[in-house]
């Protein structure tokens, strides 16, 4: 591992963060260097500090510890992410025999110089008790590969000798801080500390020294791992024809869903993030993956994101998806039972005070294919997948030189159910569509894009499909997050098939479809060219059918129901003159909705429609509004408000109607009218 320190960049940071002072500016610079390397730090793991003088709110200069705050990512940290805590009161704590976690948090908060600052790291006291000015802490995969061994400490002593101190495993907090300080005091010449089965600290008088000591110590671990390696895992026998990712993901996702006890027909679903590369497949294909893959996490901090271990499922046989599904469901059910037993055993040990989290795995290893990270949104799914990849790197190295031997489950449980760790995940209330995957067609138009925005705001992951690919991408980008923009022509079977495959590969499945793509054709029905009528049917009827069919196939593989929503039209029930070519396929689509409701209700798949009218959109352009209002002798405003309520209907109103239908779990075969009131178009 090379040092990434560049003098020019360091000085640029000092200029950029001039207000924070040189110490903190350089602290930000090297914290980012560490945080941007996934071999060292991932998603909230690791932390850094600097002891420096800061000015308090009264303008007085005080000695403070600026230590990484909770909720900040080291790779993108700013000075505000390293809140200053008065050092003297922290040092005073060392004399205590015991300090409860909640009290430790209170003392730390009470001594923040800025009362609005985030909570200092749970490892802040360790940083305080070691006298060095700059302190760096990482969960380096190479160091973990050495220490996560049965004889991990001996192996580390062999590599590092007396250059570092060795701290036996303890949970982060006051106890660990005291133990680490005692190890340090017994030989203050050490450059750092190895925390057995946890990670590594390095110290220095300046930012560069602490950082480069970290790089140097990690490099020694890498060099040791390069020596005397055994061959890679021996591969298990795989099916002759492996199933495709697009077929596997919905099966895995469905098996990892939980019925919602509070609402019949509702499900707690997860979004998937798929990963595959040589390192991943080498690992998951190994004949012994059930042993080394499920032994435990590589550092306890991962526990809160990916539980105590992943689930390993069967290799997917492309010729027998039904058999594969059965095996996946058995594996996940067994995992859940074992998780409940793990919880019960350990909860009894701590006095029965904890509440069990859901028993669904957050990492699924699929031999022959790769791995899935699971999360309630794509962001969390990616975090789980990142941690799984780091675990694979660590365990592969550990097994190459010995045998991976992580912490016992009692220690893993204590961290997984530690109140201070759970706090890292935040206590914010989940949005109503968290975990759900929504597809909107015609998503570049006014109604389509408003609908995609409304579903994203309700917590869903959204895929925006439009025949205008760049426009779909632009609308997706405007939504941000993981929103996907995909070119899709719903009149083309292959285009629809490919678009749904991409969505499944990106998110793992599909739960809700808003089939919205459409266009208007006109003509007096007795004289209209048949080709025009057929063209309109191709889009305004068959387009909906193709999209619904592709979605139902995925929904049935998931076995968690689903929701098909269609943009029909007032024309379906109340034909306008010369609008036959548009209204006729829309009338057929209205019955398509009912047919889906009838045929798939028993599988929990709902089908509903919205009849909207007179909405400014691609179908009702500004020129059309101008000419129609003129023809009727009305102002444009009066024309748009020509309904019972006298209100203009906008795209967002239609979007809210779709959203309401998606959330109404007991409603199917419904048509919701969004037209401001039009008795002639009202449904019986």
Site residues (CB under 5 A) for Zn ion?
A: 199
Closest CA to 423 of 69, 66, 90, 80: 69
Q: How far is the CB of 379 from Zn ion (least distance, A)?
A: 22
Cβ proximity to Zn ion, 31 vs 451, nearer residue:
31
- Say if CB 546 and CB 475 are below 8 A apart: no
> Any idea how long the chain is?
684
Q: How far is the CB of 118 from Zn ion (least distance, A)?
A: 17
Cβ proximity to Zn ion, 218 vs 366, nearer residue:
218
- Say if CB 79 and CB 28 are below 8 A apart: yes
- Which residues sit opposite 273 in a β-bridge? 373
Strand 47-55 relative to strand 61-67, pairing: antiparallel
Q: How far is the CB of 326 from Zn ion (least distance, A)?
A: 41
Cβ proximity to Zn ion, 74 vs 568, nearer residue:
74
R_g of the chain computed on alpha carbons: 30
Closest CA to 376 of 326, 432, 320: 432
Q: How far is the CB of 413 from Zn ion (least distance, A)?
A: 17
Strand 47-55 relative to strand 134-138, pairing: antiparallel
- Give Cβ neighbours of residue 406 (< 8 Å, ≥ 6 apart): 148, 197, 295, 296, 297, 298, 412
Q: How far is the CB of 131 from Zn ion (least distance, A)?
A: 20
Q: How far is the CB of 173 from Zn ion (least distance, A)?
A: 11
Cα 671 from Cα 321, distance rounded (Å) = 36
Instruction: Count other Cβ atoms within 10 Å, centred on residue 380.
Output: 21
Matching residue, tokens 């069919």: 549
Q: How far is the CB of 436 from Zn ion (least distance, A)?
A: 34
- Which residues sit opposite 68 in a β-bridge? none
Cα 507 from Cα 479, distance rounded (Å) = 16
Cβ proximity to Zn ion, 199 vs 254, nearer residue:
199
- Say if CB 506 and CB 490 are below 8 A apart: no
- Which residues sit opposite 666 in a β-bridge? none
3-state SS class at 525: coil
Q: How far is the CB of 422 from Zn ion (least distance, A)?
A: 16
Give the CB-nearest residue to Zn ion.
199
Q: Where are the beta strands (DSSP E) in 68-191?
A: 84-86, 134-138, 164-167
3-state SS class at 224: helix
DSSP-assigned letter for residue 357: P
- Say if CB 460 and CB 437 are below 8 A apart: yes
Q: How far is the CB of 199 from Zn ion (least distance, A)?
A: 5
Q: How far is the CB of 271 from Zn ion (least distance, A)?
A: 27
- Which residues sit opposite 192 in a β-bridge? 164, 202
Q: How far is the CB of 410 from Zn ion (least distance, A)?
A: 18
């Amino acid at each position: 591992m090379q040092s990434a320190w560049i003098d020019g960049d360091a000085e640029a940071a000092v200029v950029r963060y001039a207000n924070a002072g040189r110490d903190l500016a350089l602290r930000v610079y090297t914290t980012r260097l560490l945080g941007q390397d996934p071999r060292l730090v991932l998603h909230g793991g690791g932390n850094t500090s600097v002891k420096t003088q800061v000015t308090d709110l009264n303008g007085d200069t005080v000695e403070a510890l600026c230590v990484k705050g909770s909720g900040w990512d080291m790779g993108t940290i700013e000075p505000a992410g390293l809140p200053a805590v008065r050092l003297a009161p922290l040092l005073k704590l060392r004399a205590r025999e015991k300090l409860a976690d909640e009290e430790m948090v209170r003392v730390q908060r009470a001594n923040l110089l800025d009362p609005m600052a985030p909570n200092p790291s749970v490892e802040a006291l360790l940083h305080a008790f070691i006298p060095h000015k700059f302190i760096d802490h990482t969960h380096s995969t190479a160091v973990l590969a050495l220490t996560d061994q049965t004889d991990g400490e001996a192996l580390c002593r062999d590599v590092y000798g007396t250059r570092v101190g060795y701290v036996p495993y303890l949970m982060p907090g006051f106890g660990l801080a005291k133990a680490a300080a005692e190890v340090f005091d017994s030989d203050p010449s050490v450059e750092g500390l190895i925390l057995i089965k946890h990670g590594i600290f390095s110290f220095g008088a300046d930012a560069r020294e602490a950082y480069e000591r970290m790089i140097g110590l990690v490099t020694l671990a890498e060099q040791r791992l390069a020596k005397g390696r055994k061959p890679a895992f021996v591969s298990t026998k795989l099916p002759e024809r492996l199933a495709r990712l697009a077929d596997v993901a919905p099966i895995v996702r469905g098996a990892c869903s939980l019925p919602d006890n509070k609402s019949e027909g509702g499900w707690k679903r997860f979004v998937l993030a798929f990963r595959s590369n040589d390192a991943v497949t080498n690992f998951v294909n190994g004949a012994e993956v059930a042993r080394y893959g499920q032994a435990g996490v590589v550092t306890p901090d991962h526990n809160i994101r990916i539980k105590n271990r992943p689930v390993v499922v069967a290799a997917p046989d492309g010729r027998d998806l039904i058999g594969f599904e059965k095996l996946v469901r058995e594996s996940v059910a067994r995992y859940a039972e074992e998780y409940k037993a793990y919880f019960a055993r350990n909860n009894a040990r701590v006095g029965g005070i904890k509440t069990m989290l859901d028993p669904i795995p957050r990492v699924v290893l699929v031999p022959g294919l790769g791995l899935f990270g699971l999360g309630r949104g794509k962001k969390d799914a990616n975090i789980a997948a990142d941690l799984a990849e780091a675990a694979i790197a660590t365990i592969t190295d550990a097994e190459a030189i010995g045998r991976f031997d992580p912490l016992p489950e009692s220690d893993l449980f204590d961290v997984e159910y530690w109140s201070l760790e759970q706090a890292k995940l935040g206590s914010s209330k989940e949005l109503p569509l968290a975990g759900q995957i929504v597809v909107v067609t015609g998503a570049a138009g006014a109604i389509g894009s408003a609908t995609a925005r409304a579903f994203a705001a309700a917590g869903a992951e959204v895929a925006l499909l439009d025949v205008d690919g760049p426009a779909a991408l632009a609308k997706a980008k405007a939504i941000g997050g993981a929103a996907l923009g995909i070119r899709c022509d719903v009149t083309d079977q292959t285009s629809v098939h490919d678009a749904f495959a991409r969505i499944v590969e990106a998110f793992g499945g599909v739960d809700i479809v808003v089939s919205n793509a459409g266009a208007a054709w006109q003509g007096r029905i007795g004289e209209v060219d048949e080709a025009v009528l057929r063209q309109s049917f191709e889009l305004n009827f068959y387009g909906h059918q193709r999209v619904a069919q592709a979605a139902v196939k995925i929904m049935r593989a998931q076995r968690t129901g689903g929701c098909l929503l269609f943009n029909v039209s007032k024309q379906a029930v109340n034909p306008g003159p010369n609008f036959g070519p548009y209204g006729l396929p829309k009338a057929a689509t209205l019955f398509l909705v009912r047919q889906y409701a009838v045929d798939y209700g028993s599988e929990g798949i709902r089908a509903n429609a919205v009849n909207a009218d007179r909405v400014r959109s691609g179908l009702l352009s500004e020129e059309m509004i101008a000419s129609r209002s003129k023809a009727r002798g009305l102002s444009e405003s009066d024309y748009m408000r020509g309904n019972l309520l006298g209100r203009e209907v906008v795209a967002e109103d239609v979007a809210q109607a779709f959203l309401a239908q998606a959330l109404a779990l007991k409603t199917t075969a419904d048509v919701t009218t969004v037209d401001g009131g039009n008795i002639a178009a009202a449904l019986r």
